[in-house]
Structure 1
């Protein structure tokens, strides 16, 4: 097999030091670091103990029952280690399925350090160091998002981070509607976008005691891109806002939010006097890795508030694609097309963002984050107990989750801090974009005809084997069988997704027209590759994975098509 000719500059080689490697090539270094961490932890405990004395004596360790219990525990651990040898090898370059891959060793070590100390970031009283590091990690992520000074916290993932936005948007909206009602304002849409300045002016004028809680005569709605993650209807339901009040903005032929439809839907809500929770755009959809036209969305929202001192909450769900913003300031930005670059740059115009370091941050689970540009939007409604320190310095009063491990924050901090020196994230993600292009070109050389939908802005590559079929339903059936065969053979691990006409009508229609397929199905099945492994393309590898995978697809498709 011919090797891929990929030039590695010294800075790219340096990035290899962040990962253990598919064959545990950096095992000596990480072993030394884990040993150092454990010995430091042991010494810290011993030195801190002071006058407690030795509470587990040598004679205790010699007791038969003590030894028996230790042996039992060893057997349990050995059994677990053996069981996990059957886990999916997500570290392997052959794993190109879902949104996880190698873990950065600095992140893993930060995670281990935190687990040893077991801090609870609900309060600085339960996590002195962990809460400090969380704020430093949020600073790094705020800088990544383009915020001068963001306020936020870590969550268990993107779903809860999206819930954090919904909770705050609901509370802010009701505050503004209450103030508007007290001031005699009847325009619910205008009230829902009044802005903090007008709200504060009403409160100062009337007094807080004159502002009563009212129930809006119309349920508030949220506008979200039709390419949304399933956490959005889930969040609307869980927070009592109603799934039916989630309004989907149409997608264009590339699967991106249509700003024309966004404008029309906003005009309709304005005319119908309907209160608005906010607008959600996506930076890196879970199906295709698509990035919405963030710059144009921001411009549309400004048209509805210009000159009125108003404000429409613009949230970006960048759980997957947010880390691609590291390319914006790097030399590796050449890997991005002009529109993608512009939209990533424009993330700074959003009012809040969801990020998942446990995806393209290469950080262990669980590590998500919710960040607000304006602290007034963040500190909207506290909850606390009489035994918990209560002030704005304690973010635990403002989080949906109560007890929160500091591990995600520390792992993210460690990884981002270590990667700073070599522009590591930009180099890794630029490499994954190159991998996507190489895989696509390899598939295009196949004998079998391949369909590639648009909107694939990041390192996710979706495609459908058309072969010689003339109907979409036949193509869908073939690709489902290809997926099943590849899953059975375990040579590569991939995923699949399904686009429905309900949300992706234009994209499906245009793709079928381009490939001369009869549109006889309500959906389009796609094989899906998440090409985020740092070693998927490497001149040192004896395997050209792109070529080998393309040959596998061709072979399986041919075999199934001729049975």
Structure 2
């Protein structure tokens, strides 16, 4: 893949199209001479170096990685036109691309019918799903896992509905006994299930929670912002394959959120919200006197809480899906590599006397902590913080992240650790990049060596 060549093709293609409308000279007020640009660009690129190397396999920290070159080219090419996917007259071509890409996402989850669109983030996508849920169940609250993303509590506050965190079990999944106790009260109209928590990558048991929610008349929303694309590995043979039951059950849930800017190889921000019942579009109905007039066809702005949205995001996703479709043989191979990397590092940790696994990974997030003597929460916390800092500062750096585990969660998994603090930071490695599969040996060696230097 020659990104420079692809970008050259992009600029030529757009210029050729622009020339069909006749030549023109840019206004003098827009002119910037080359020397002035060079000076500003040098400072600009210098400032950009104040970043972590998200692109490198030695970066195994937060949920960050570069977009695929196809997404970069798709975005930049379309940005030269700069369409707005709010109304069809703002971006007719990219509106069609968005519908196509969203349909492929819906098919990936098994939806036979759907209404959906792209958003600027998973946060906004979740807001839209909970907005519709509120309209369908006025006066009732929303239940979500205590380990779910903080978005849900925040969005409940924005929408003026009561949020109900539900405790998790020893695997980080929603405790269904606690959920049923809550549903019995009649206070909950919507249950949010998470397929891939951002902390540990835990997958709520959708297949068991769904009939429970249905029994009490509650709507089910799936927050698959992080883990959604792992449905491509459901039932796949081999160690990277996932149990199919929770993923297959998503097709029967009322709404789904997924973030292509995570495992879909897209630039920020590109989220998506999908509804199984297209009739929920009635809750979005509005009018605008200067848009929605070029076509009787549904405009994307008529089914979205957002107004202006980058057509370039839709174009980037569409082009990526032409090359790496959301199928087990397409994008599924990218996720399989990350899953294999997580399993490989898990085996290395299991054989180490310097590191201990916090819990078995379900997706591509590995959680672990340094072995300390005496074995206390305070000791684990201090050692994890030291490894994080020294790993980034070394000549051969390794980039990790930490996760704060509270006393109850930690000791439930590791009762041998003395609970002398309210919790402890553990180490957390997100292996989103497929290249990680070939670098986990080095990552493990580096982390273990730093842990040894205590």
TM-score with structure 2 setting the length: 0.93
Which secondary structure state, in structure 1, belongs to the residue aligned with residue 284 of structure 2?
coil
> CA-atom RMSD, angstroms?
2.3
Inter-CA distance 39–142: structure 2 relative to 1 (3 Å threshold): same
* Alpha-carbon distance in structure 1 between the residues aligned to 2:30 and 2:167: 65
In structure 1, C-alpha distance between the alignment counterparts of 2:54 and 2:32, rounded to whole Å: 36
Deviations 1:60-116 (A, max 9, x none): 9xxxx9987342123222332333234322111111111122321221211112211
Aligned to 2:216: 304
Q: Check if 1:407 corresponds to 2:407.
A: no
For residue 380 of structure 1, what is the aligned residue in structure 2?
A: 283
**Alignment partner for residue 231 of structure 2, among 310, 325, 328?**
325
d(CA) in 2 for partners of 1:41 and 1:332?
Answer: 44
Measure the CA separation in 2 of the matches of 1:326 and 1:104.
Answer: 18
- For residue 193 of structure 2, the aligned residue among 277, 281, 285 is 281
In 2, Cα distance between equivalents of 1:99 and 1:482: 19
**1:447–1:554 CA contact under 8 A, matched in 2:** no
State the distance in 2 between where 1:537 and 1:86 align: 27
CA distance in 2, matches of 1:344, 1:66: 52
1:530 aligns with 2:430: yes
Q: Distance in 2 between matches of 1:417 and 1:333?
A: 26
Q: Deviation string for 1:14-42 (max 9, x for gaps)?
A: xxxxxxxxxxxx3xx32222111111111
235 and 399 in structure 1: CA distance in 2 versus 1, 3 angstrom threshold: same
Instruction: Show structure 2 runs of 5+ residues with no match.
Output: none
Which runs of 4 or more aligned residues in structure 1 lie more than 4 Å from their structure 2 counterparts after TM superposition? 65-68, 331-334
TM alignment of 1:390-469, pairs within 5 A: 393-420=298-325, 423-454=329-360, 456-469=361-374
Q: Does 1:355 align with 2:258?
A: yes
1:508 aligns with 2:410: yes
Assess if the C-alpha contact under 8 Å between 2:173 and 2:204 holds in 1.
Answer: yes
2:8 aligned with 1:44? no
Alignment length, in residue pairs? 450
- The counterpart of 1:254, out of the listed 164, 171, 174, is 171
**Contact 2:233 2:242 (C-alpha < 8 Å) held by counterparts:** no
Task: Please list every run of 5 or more consecutive structure 1 residues that lacks an aligned counterpart in the other structure.
Answer: 1-25, 175-218, 306-311, 539-544
1:435 to 1:167, Cα distance in 2 relative to 1, 3 A:
same
Is residue 2:403 matched to residue 1:497? yes
Greater helix share, structure number: 1
* C-alpha distance 121-548 of structure 1, shift in aligned 2 (>3 A): same
In the alignment, the residues of structure 2 paired with residue 48 and residue 85 of structure 1 have an alpha-carbon distance, to the nearest angstrom, of 40
CA distance in 2, matches of 1:447, 1:466: 7
SS at match of 1:469: coil
Contact kept in structure 1, 2:284 and 2:305, CA below 8 Å? no
Residues 147 and 96 (structure 1), Cα distance of their counterparts in 2 relative to 1, 3 Å cut: same
Q: Check if 1:313 corresponds to 2:219.
A: yes
TM-score (norm 1): 0.76
Distance 1:559 1:141, change over 3 A: same
Q: Distance in 2 between matches of 1:335 and 1:460?
A: 13
1:126 maps to 90
